[in-house]
A and B are shown apart, each in its own frame.
Chain A
């Protein structure tokens, strides 16, 4: 064996080095610089001043306007995750336990919106939810609303919620379907034989065993909704901005980079906290089951 010149360790590093170096420069350093800037500079009267400071964060929490944007972002992201769970459950059921054709169709239809550009999707929703849109037209046609005062969901938080659930639904349904299909049928049959009604089987057996899927889906939908920019911008109007819009305004319009950096850091922290929370809760629940009733 004379040809073997490189050790696996060296070869491994050589192969990984280009990607690692690229990501250090194109991802890690920029992220670190953003984190740093939020603590190390502030903008006063349009001029950036360097020096260690917490003013950016103080401003985010003390100013009523910014504080409300933060709260609205959390509320909307949490609602989207919750609604996606309710809407996603029947879909996941169809994917995991439906006939083959149904399972395939549901998967395809679910993933299709992901491949369509976010601007197009939001535009499609605006054409449905606007005053001259599909819903208003149908409501007037059914006599539910009058043509003088057509109903509109466009430029409300509802529109943003609907569109967010729409696009991020696959991130809820596919993990949930995975968890559902991993439940052995014998477990449910045993509960049924023991006299449990189908509803009780669902509540006491199927639902708890599908929690690992929810623990993946809920934080994913939350994170993606909280970080969205285009959908709230097109469907929410300028009246109720979310965190993404606020960051964009601060950086591109007002050129307050330190405050934009601090808001970006808050967004990352928020997303990480929610993810860690779910991982923690899930780990505890699972430990509880394997060691007997708590």
Chain B
């Protein structure tokens, strides 16, 4: 059978498209080692100076620290809220379950920029101060649906009769969770944590409304830097972020056996 083959012209089209898809990720990498103090194609010479520049820049370092703290805090909060919620949604039939599901997936439907502006106006109305707290709440709202979806997926494939068996044999709810459910869903939870971390670390549309000068996440820093600097430091920072993303893909695919396609849907 030659079923799993596609015609040669189609293959050529597909490969050409793949090159175009990779190009905007590869070009910053090529530019980042260029010897010229401005950005132009083709890159000339070789230097790692721009990487040193960017890595020793105090503003970039501060932005990175804010982003890491924010991503970690939001991931933990989303897991703490999302895992019990997923348990309820998958394992229990309770009145209003459909409404809870709709509410939890709601942030995926509303454009992020609108969620962000809504939070800005709401926080101002409440008089809630503290940019980090505001950012933390906003990022957790956006991460939560991914956690619930990923953990629910893992729970659906776990076998509920094992939980019943453990219960019949006298295990309490905490024991059932730790010894029976957790081993079956921990890969799903790990995937959820990585998704949530990426969503927060990459977020722009929420942060642009809520950040202040002291809490200025990395994507916002990069955006501001693009408009201020024209040397390849920006390309170096971009390249570092591309490498970081590639590392995460490998971690998901090889380390956890989770297809990256799950991120898109």
Contact = CB atoms under 8 A, between A and B. Distances in A.
30 contacts: A11-B92, A12-B93, A12-B94, A15-B92, A16-B89, A23-B104, A31-B110, A33-B125, A34-B122, A87-B17, A91-B17, A93-B6, A94-B14, A98-B11, A102-B14, A113-B24, A114-B263, A115-B202, A115-B249, A118-B202, A123-B226, A124-B28, A128-B23, A137-B42, A166-B20, A174-B264, A227-B205, A251-B120, A267-B111, A271-B109
Interface of A: 3, 8-16, 18-20, 22-24, 26-31, 33-34, 37, 87, 90-91, 93-94, 97-100, 102, 105-121, 123-128, 132-134, 136-137, 163, 166, 169-171, 174-175, 185, 223, 226-227, 229-230, 233-234, 244, 247-248, 251-252, 257, 260-261, 264, 267-268, 271-272, 275
The secondary structure that dominates the B interface is helix
Interface string B191-222: 00000001000101100110000000011001
Nearest to A271: B111
Nearest to B9: A90
A289 B246 CA distance: 44
A223 B113 CA distance: 12
Contact of B112 (A112, A128, A227): A227
A137 B41 contact: yes
Contacts of A126: 226
For the complex of A and B, the 6 pairs showing the least CB-CB separation, nearest first, are A12-B94, A124-B24, A227-B111, A30-B118, A30-B122, A15-B88
A99 B4 CA distance: 5
Interface in B118-175: 118-122, 125, 137-138, 140-141, 144, 148, 172
B181 interface: no
A114 B264 contact: yes
A119 B264 contact: no
A259 B179 CA distance: 54
B76 interface: no
Contact of B23 (A30, A111, A134): A134
B54 interface: no
Contacts of B184: none
